[in-house]
Each structure stands twice: as C-alpha cells, then as structure tokens.
A and B are shown apart, each in its own frame.
Chain A
C-alpha cells in the first residue's frame, strides 16, 4: 500500500516537473526549419547559448570586470540565447514560405509584436515579446533584408533595453535596435 503511494507520488512529481520544464521551454523558437537556407547562403552564423551555458556564463563572468559585471546583470535569469543569421550573394534567396514556420510559432499564445521598434540597419525588423501576465518570458527578433535574414531568440526575462545592451555580446548580432514608446500590438486579430 505504502509502496503504491510512493510510486504515485513520484509519478506526480515527475509530471509536475515535466510540465514546468515544458513551460520554461515555451519561449524557445524552433529555428531548425531555416537550416536549409545555409546551402544557399554565403555566410551562416548559428549561436546556441543554452541554459547550461547561461548558468556557466553567470558563474564565470567576473564582478571585478566592469563589462562582464554588466553582462552578468543583463543575463540574470535568462535561459538561452539562440541566433541564426544568413547572408546571401543575391536577392530572392528566401521568401515568406521560409519564414512561415517561425512566424507561425510567433502567432502562438502569449507572443506580442512590438510596433514601436526600429532598427538603424536597413530592412524589415519585427520584434516579438512573450508575456505571462506582466512578466516577459522571452523575446524574438526577425530581421530581414533583400540579402540578409537574422533571427534572435532570447528565452527568459528580457526587454528591449536589455536586448539593446546585449547587442554585439554573446553572439547576438548588432541589429541597431531602438525602442521608441512602450506601445504594443497583439497578434490576435
């Protein structure tokens, strides 16, 4: 009888843990659908700083070094940074169909497109935040140009100010992102 109770308890704990892990991973955008573009691209960059590496980074960044102390503060609580970037020799190497698997994930629950964000760089910039109530759980940036495509996904509590400060660090490209007002537009239309 006791043994059955223990087994049930362990099973319940496992289910709860799995549910929490699944929830934590919700803001991770699956970028694998873009991999086929690498064959056409002249430059491909793939950055993968997962939760384990984030923890490692938080551990090794020194409080004595001003730069590192700042980054350490910025990445506090983050669970991952993922970047895929492609540069092409000629125009028209990718289209809406290539981006649809990414956009469809960003149309999912909780994701909100920010309309008040601009980039100093040329091209089209889309910034999405995932909210859980007032809390931000993740961020995704889609930057497209005629010959360039960059997707950045940060998992965890991150806002545009943090992103702007993290540009050029930890493999995040410099997208020249600037926030204007705190207006937002939801995807649910």
Chain B
C-alpha cells in the first residue's frame, strides 16, 4: 500500500517537473495577445517590414539595444514587437478590453488602460513580476494601426513607468518601433 502511494507521489512529483517548461512555453502571453488582436479585429500583423523578412511574424530583437537616448528604456535583448499596419480596427472597445483582461489576469497586472473613442485609440499597459526583473506589455491600437511590445525594464526605468505610466508607456512603444527601424 505504502509502495503504491509512494509511487504515485513520485509520479506526480516528476510530472510536475516535466510539465514546468511546457507551462512556461504555453504562458507566452505576447503571442496570445497578438493572436487575440488578429482574431478580434480580423487583422494580420505583417511581420516587421523594416527587417524585410517574409514570414517573420514577430521580431524578438535580441541584444539590439546598445545605449543612447532613444534606447534607454528596455533591457538589452528583451524586446518582443508585433506591428499591425494600415488595417481596420473596428470593434467593441469594451468587449476587447474585457477579453484582454480576462486572458492576462493570471500572470499580468493591469497598470493603466486608456480608451479614446474620438480617436479610436486604446492603450493597455500590463506588468509581470519576473524575479528580479519586471516585464512590461504595452498594447496600443488606433483606427488603422496597432503595436504590441513586451520589454523587460530595469528598476530605474520601471520607476519612470510607475511615476508616469501613460507617458513612459508611449515612450516604450515609440522606442521599440524606432529600434527596429534601425
């Protein structure tokens, strides 16, 4: 009896360890968000045109940040970027927001969310504690374009984000797209 119980315990223990990386891989919320935008708005992100690589859907710009004024926010090698250009983003803001929050609520904390129906602009900033680093997910959608950026911020830049969430969130998106254009 004891042996069976021990075996079950060991099996469960081993399975937990085996399933850990799988869980992490499944937890790639960046891709989930990109997919969600595609499905909700019936749009396609077009890869990164400036990299001119057909089929390259998402750019993970590893170690492209070397310093400089326009590159001061994200940690080196931490940027994931998806761009949607010149497409129609017609849809119910509230419904999209609700779906987004629902899908990210387990691992991400919403910091600030702004919706402007006049300009059809939406900005969502989420944070995720990742040990000694903090991941930031910035989603901006307007009438014709959208950007999804995930970066890791240093403590210094995280302080900037918390002090001025809206302004720093915009800078992260601008910086990420700027870096990739270089």
Contact = CB atoms under 8 A, between A and B. Distances in A.
A26 interface: no
B114 A43 contact: yes
B116 A170 contact: no
B118 interface: yes
Interface residues of B, number: 25
A35 B94 CA distance: 9
Contacts, number: 79
Q: Which of A49, A57, A60, A170 neighbours the largest number of chain B CB atoms within 10 Å of its CB?
A: A60
A65 B113 CA distance: 27
A50 B112 CA distance: 11
Interface in A22-65: 35, 38-39, 41-50, 52-53, 56-57, 59-62, 65
Interface string B129-161: 100001000000000000000000001101100
A44 to B, nearest CB: 4
B104 to A, nearest CB: 12
A41 B93 CA distance: 11
Contact of B114 (A46, A50, A57): A46
Contacts of B117: 41-43
Interface string B89-100: 000011001000
Interface of B is mostly: mixed
A39 B92 CA distance: 9
B114 A56 contact: no
Contact of B112 (A43, A47, A61): A47
Contacts of B155: 59-60, 62
Contact of A57 (B93, B109, B129, B162): B162
Interface in B113-133: 113-118, 127, 129
Nearest 7 Cβ contacts at the A-B interface = A60-B155, A44-B115, A46-B113, A60-B159, A57-B162, A42-B118, A60-B158
Interface of B: 93-94, 97, 109-118, 127, 129, 134, 155-156, 158-159, 162-166
15 contacts: A38-B115, A41-B117, A43-B114, A43-B118, A44-B116, A46-B112, A47-B165, A48-B109, A48-B112, A53-B127, A56-B158, A56-B162, A60-B156, A61-B163, A171-B165
Interface of A: 35, 38-39, 41-50, 52-53, 56-57, 59-62, 65, 67-68, 71, 89, 169-171
